[in-house]
Structure formats: structure tokens, C-alpha cells
Amino acid sequence: MNHSLFAQGVRARIYVRAAALAVVGGMTAMTGCQPAPSDGSSQMAITPTAQMMAPSEARAALPTEAWDTPIANVTSVTPPQMARSTAQGATQITATAVSVLTPAVTPARIAQATQVVQAAQAMQRPDIPPSAAASAAATVATAFVDMPFGSPSSSRSTGPRVASPTMPYTPGQAHTEFGAQIDGCVKPPEQSMALAREIGFTWVKQQVRWGDIEGIDGVVHWGCLDQVVAAAQKAGLKLLVSVTTAPAHRRTLRDTLGPPDHLEDLGGFLYALFTRYPGKISALECWNEPNLWAEWHAAIGGAGYAQMLALCYLSARAWAPNAMVISAGVSPTDDESIWTHVGDVPFLKELFHYGGLSYADCVGAHANGPDGVGEVALITPRYAALADESRPLCFSEFGYALPMQGQAPKGFEWIMAHDAQMQTKQLIAAMRFARDSGKVRLAILFNLDIEWGGKGTNAPYALVRDGDSWTSPAIDQLKTFLKGA
């Protein structure tokens, strides 16, 4: 999480329009990942993005039959028919996706392209390159926000509705499950999992900072995540992974606090993630707080994020069809600043206008304060109404921070009035509201034991801190509540 809304930065809002279509026309087999080494190595190489071609060049470079193949044939053929060779398989599915998206992008054509991605599920064979599904998914993601549905102020009911949630939802009847966020890359994950189970949580969340684990050579170092996944499996806990931060070498700005320049790079990483841990990831949160400059060093806006969310959703459907996809939890703000952030409500309105609800099983939310703004009881009805009650909410973070040794991090002065008794009361109240509302599918407590040496903005939220031997008295009350949840 990051509530440092006073960080320096520059924000520019954009609506993605016809320029995106030019990119779509030039997509070829763009992203590739090599399977995990058979020797058990924790590294995986992701090939760099290929140079984009102009639409005419792309069309000329591909086999004629790839453009002429009817969509019905593509979705019904077997893997050997779809790809007689590795190269043809990669171009076939990408070319078909592009052909149904041009020259006129319509909801029907988007639905057809989605079928292409679904057909890619059958292509999970060693001789079929993962770039096929990643490319098709990126094609759809890049194109769908540019569909001619009018200006952002027009009714979003005219937007695309081409996907149904993985987990059906009846408004007001969501069964709430609870979990806690850990950092298994800093502390032994077995220790955190044991504490989560003892308290009564059934989920754990691990943030996967892509930019921290992929080297400039494209090699991903999976070591700590391997341990987290194994520990969650052993403990019988469901695992939510929150993927965020692109590697610096995949961004023009050369930092890790934002999206990749090319979305298909993220598609390649998601392929690597899902296929390394088949059936072991229960939910994916697509990025973290993209309405803050501190988390999204690029043009901030729901339209741009909608592209990424579509890619996350389609990638999950191809490689982890049972995983729940959660839109990024946005930072709750009651204002906007041209320097640092976009308000959560206008950001979500724009996201939903551009069809974001079609690419999420659950609407992500954060409720970590400040008081009177970032609270579960305030956010739940607000976001549910924005989503027309069509999706449940998933609080990928909710928490209550306390000062440490009489001090608070910069920008968190509002926590100075908090105490342990208030923390217990507020956490239980938030969980009870989530459970009783019937609108919340998942609520993840932020956080269980993330302290990072007592520095930064995470430690004040931790229920357990080794650094100053702190254990929150709220733990006993949480155990009691969860027994009856």
C-alpha cells in the first residue's frame, strides 16, 4: 500500500483513442517465455519485446491463410491443426486476433478476439510458444479501450460486455472470506502462514514485485516466491498474488514504479507465473493503486489501466482459468491533485466506462485510512454502486495503523490519535460490516507481520513486529470473530 499522496510527481490524464489501433495492427508474435528449467532452477528468461511493424508490413509478413481463416475454424481446431510448427502457431493466433479487430473495432469483433484467446488454452504443449496467447491477449487489451462508444461522459452501458465473471455473483449474497498480507520474501513464509492459520484466516496475500525479481537480462528469480507458494500449499491457505512494478529495463523512465512500455511484456510474465505454479494461485490482483503517481509513473487514468486489466483477465483465463481476477485496489482519496493522484471515484468511473467490469471477477479496494475516507463501511456501498452491483468487492487491503514509539511516517500524521484499543475495535467492525453487507467476496488484513526493520509505511499496520517485540491485542479478538465467520 502507499498513502504518500504528498510525493513529488507529475500526472497527465489521457483517454486512449485511435492511436491504439495503429499499434494493434502491427502486432506479431511479440512475447515469449521459456519453460522452467528441468533441473529445478529458479530462473526463467523472458525474451524482449520484438519491434512492432506497421499494419501493412505485418499483413505482408504473415501467411495468407492466417488472415483468411474464419474465427469458427480457429476456435474448433485441435492444437496440431492450429500450429503445424512453432512459428506458424505463434503467427496464426496473433494474425487471427488482428484480423477480427480491423478495420472496424466493434463489440462483436472483440468477442471474437476473446474466443481466440480462449482457444489458446488448448495450446499448452511444449512445442507451442507461449507468445501465442500472450500476443492475442495483448492485442485485445490494447484495442478494446479504443472502441467507438462515444466520449468518456457518455453512458458506459454501451461499452463492451464480452466476458462473464469466473465466480458468479448474486448481489447482496456474497460470502466473505478473510486473509492477511505477508511478505514471504523478507520473513520465513512458514512462520507467517502458521500465524495466519492460528488466527483463523483462510487466505494469504503476497505482493509480487515483478521489477524486483526480473533482472536486466530478462531472467526471473523465483526463489522467494517458490517458498511462499510451497508454504501456502502446505498450510492449506489460498494464495492471492498482487503483481505490480515493471522492471526498469521495460520502461522508458527506467524505474520500477509503473507499467511496462509494452503490455505484452506483462503478458509474458503472467504466463511464466501461472505456468510455474499451475493450480496454486487462487487469485490475481492486477497491479497496486494505479491512481497514485507513487505506484504508476505514467499517465494516470482508468482508460489506460483498463488495457492492463483486460490483459490480466485474458491471461488468467488462458493459463489459470480457476483463478479469481481482482482489479487493482485503488487508494481511497477524497480529492485530486495534478501532482500526485487521481481520486478513486473518478478513476473507477473511467475504468468502468471503458468496460473494466468485463475483465474482473471482483472490484479491488483498499481501506487503510485516513479516518473518515478509507474505511470499509464507507467504501463498500460507494464502489458497489459504481459497479451497478454487478461485481462483489475484494478488499485486497484493509487495516488500522498505530504510531510507533510515539511517531508516525511522514504523511501519516493522522494516525497519532490511534491506540491499540481503537485498532481492535475498528478491525472487528470492518470485518463484521464486510461479512454482513453481502457485497464483499474477500477481505485481506493489511498487514500481519510486515515491518521491514520498522521503517516505511507498512510497519504501523503490522499486528506482529519482531523489531520492538510488538503483538497487537487485536489478535485474540480476531481469533474469536473468525471462529464464527
Number of other residues whose CB lies within 10 A of the CB of residue 437: 18
Alpha carbon distance 438, 388 (integer Å): 14
What pLDDT shows up at residue 116?
A: 54
Sequence-distant (≥ 6) Cβ neighbours of residue 270 within 8 angstroms: 134, 243, 284, 311, 312, 315, 316, 319
Cell digits of residue 427: 478491525
Query: What pairing do the DSSP bridges indicate for beta strands 238-244 and 203-209?
Result: parallel
DSSP states along 182-244:
E-TTTS-HHHHHHHHHHHT-SEEEEEEEHHHHB-TTSEEE-HHHHHHHHHHHHHT-EEEEEEE
Beta partners for residue 202, in sequence order:
none
What pLDDT shows up at residue 353?
A: 92
DSSP states along 276-291:
HSTTT--EEEESS-TT
In contact, 197 and 393? CB cutoff 8 Å? no
Beta partners for residue 239, in sequence order:
204
Which residues of the chain, if any, have pLDDT below 70?
1-166, 338-339, 453-454
Degrees, nearest 5: CA angle 49-54-60 = 105
What pLDDT shows up at residue 59?
A: 32
Q: Is the dihedral of CA 476, 414, 411, 296 positive or negative?
A: positive
| pTM for the full predicted model | 0.75
What pLDDT shows up at residue 285?
A: 98
The pLDDT tens digits of the residues spanning 377-404 come to 999 999 999 999 999 999 999 999 999 9
Enumerate domains of the chain plus CATH numbers: 19-144 (no CATH), 177-483 (3.20.20.80)
What pLDDT shows up at residue 111?
A: 56
